[in-house]
Amino acid sequence: MSPESKLAEMVEKVRAYSPHADLAPLEKAYTYSLKAHEHQARASGEHYFVHCAAVAETLIDFKLDLATVCAGLLHDVIEDTPVTRDDLAAEFGNEVALLVEGVTKLDTIQFVSRDEAQAENWRKMLLATAQDIRVIMIKLADRLHNMKTLNFLDQERQKRIAYETLSLYAPLAHRLGMFRLKSELEDLAFTYLHPAEHAALDAQVKAMMVGRDAALERFKAALEKKLVDTRIPYRILARSKSLWSIYQKMERQKKTFPEIQDAMGVRLITDTVANCYALLGLVHTEFKPVAGSFTDYISVPKLNLYQSLHTTVMSPQGDLIEIQLRTEEMHRTSEFGIAAHWRYKLGAAAPDAHLEEKLNWLRQWIEWLQDLKSPREFLESLKTDLELHQVFVFTPAGEVKVLPARATPLDFAFAVHTDIGMACVGAKVNNKMVKFDYELQSGDICEIVVKKGSLPKKDWLNHVRTARARSKIRHYLREKGIVV
C-alpha cells in the first residue's frame, strides 16, 4: 500500500469514531515522521516508518484521541533522528511533545548493570505514565509491533525481548485491563521462548478447531432454543483462549491439552447486571454446571476492574463449555481496558470513575515502587504487583482485599490500612493463628491482631510480597537508622 493510501485509510478510521475532529494534525504528523525517518531501515530491511505507522494503527484500533495517534506516529523521532523535543512542541504542541518524550528511552544515562538500566527505564516509563496514561498505551503498541517483527533479530535478542515482554509488558497490559493486547503479546513471546511447545500446542488447537466449531454451533443452537422465550436482550460470541493461557493452565494443573476443560467457550453479553444473573440462572437450569467452576467477578471485580460471571456447563453432547456472562460495558472494558474509559477520547467534561480508580492505583503504586532503591528489588516488586494470579481475602467484616498470589498476612494488614500493618503482632486466618509467612488463599477470612506501641521488624521484609507493604516497612526502618 502506498503512503498516500495508508494515510487515507488512517484518516477514515479516526473519522469513524471521532467525526468532528480536525484531522489536519494527523496528516501533518504522518508526513513529518515519514520524512524524519526517510533514510532509516529496520532489521527486516523495511523502511523504518512502517513501524511508526503500525504503532499508530494499533492506537487507532483502540479508538484513542488524536494527540495519542500523532504521538504514536512520532514516538521515535526524538530518539532516532535529529528532531528535538522543542521542535516537536513547535510543530505539534506541548501535549504531543510530552507524550513522545514520555516514550523515549534513557539512552544518555550510563548504567553499571543491565538490571539497573532496565529498572531505570521502567521507573521512568511508570512515572511518565502516572502523569499521562497514554504514554503506556503508546509503549504497549510499540512493543506489539516489535514482537511481530522479532524474527529478524538474532536468537539471543529474540529471547531477551520475548522474556521482558512476557514478564513485564504483558502483565502491565493485563493490569490495565487490555486483554486483547495482553493475549497477543503473550502468544508472540511464547513462540520465541518455547518454540517446540508452541508448535505442538498450536497443532493440537487447530486439530480441535475442526470439531470445536461444530460443537460450539450445536451448543449455541441449544442455548438459543432455551432462551427464545425470554425477553432478556443478549448476544452470543464464541470465545477463543490464547495458546499461552492454555499452556500455563496445563503446566499449573499438570494436565494434558484434552483435559483442559475451558478451551471451548462462549460469551453471553446483555444490557444490565441484573440480566447477567438472570441469564446465569437460566443457563444453570437448562445445562448441568460443573461443580466448583462458578466465579463471580461482577460482585468482586479483579484488580484491573475486569467483571464477568464465569461458569462451566456440560452440553447435551457431553462437551464442557465455559460461559462468561457480562454487560456490553463490561465487554468493552475486557477488550480495551483503560482505553475504553479514556475520557479525553470523547472530550467528556466529567471524569470517568473507572479511569480515575485505575490512575489512582497506578499513582499510589509508583509512589511505593519509588521507595525501593535496589534495581533488582524494584523489578522483582514490579513483577510481583503485576502478578496475573490473585487471591481474594476477606476481613472479618466481609470486606474483600485483592492481593497477588502468595501474599501473606502482613501484606493483607498493610492493604487494610498502614496503621494496622505497622502495629501488627499476629494474624488469624479462618479463626486459627498463623505465622507471618502463611500464604493466603482465596476465600480466607483474615483477622489482624494489633498491639499499641508495636512496630515493624527488619525480618518482616522476608515475609511480604507487595510493593505497598515493602515500601512502608523500609521507610520506617530507614527513619530509625536501621540499614536495609
State the Cα–Cα distance between residues 299 and 398, nearest whole angstrom.
13
**Parallel, antiparallel or unpaired: strands 446-450 and 424-429:** antiparallel
Q: How high is the pLDDT of residue 402? A: 80
Q: Which of 79, 259, 367, 437 is catalytic?
A: 79
H-helix or E-strand spanning residue 313: strand 309-314
- Topology (CATH) of 195-336: Beta Polymerase; domain 2 (3.30.460)
- Domain residue ranges of the chain, discontinuous segments joined by +: 3-193, 195-336, 389-479
CB under 8 Å to 6, separation ≥6 — which residues?
53
Q: One fold for both 195-336 and 389-479?
A: no
Q: Among candidates 73, 121, 68, which has minimal Cα distance to 98?
A: 68
Q: In this structure, which amino acid lies at residue 380?
A: E
Any bridge partners for residue 235, and if so which? 269
* CA 115 to chain CA centroid, nearest Å: 23
Q: Which of 9, 61, 80, 164 is catalytic?
A: 80
Whether residue 150 contacts residue 161, with contact meaning beta carbons closer than 8 Å, is answered with yes
Any bridge partners for residue 267, and if so which? 237, 324
Q: In this structure, which amino acid lies at residue 353?
A: A
Count Cβ atoms within 10 A of the Cβ of residue 254 and give its class: 0-12 exposed, 13-18 middle, 19 or more buried. Answer: exposed
Domain covering 3-193 in this structure, CATH number:
1.10.3210.10
**Known catalytic residue at 80:** yes
Q: How high is the pLDDT of residue 451? A: 92
Three-state DSSP at 41 gives strand
Global pTM reads 0.72
**Known catalytic residue at 197:** no
Q: For the CA atoms of the chain, what is the radius of gyration?
A: 24
Query: What is the second-level CATH architecture of the domain 389-479?
Result: Roll (3.10)
Q: In this structure, which amino acid lies at residue 175?
A: R
State the Cα–Cα distance between residues 387 and 389, nearest whole angstrom.
6
Q: How high is the pLDDT of residue 413? A: 95
State the Cα–Cα distance between residues 206 and 265, nearest whole angstrom.
15
Q: What is the mean pLDDT of each run of 10 residues along the chain (484 residues)?
A: 88 91 93 93 88 95 91 92 92 92 56 60 63 82 94 92 86 80 94 94 82 76 82 83 85 82 79 94 90 88 82 83 90 73 46 55 63 64 66 85 88 93 94 94 91 90 88 86 73
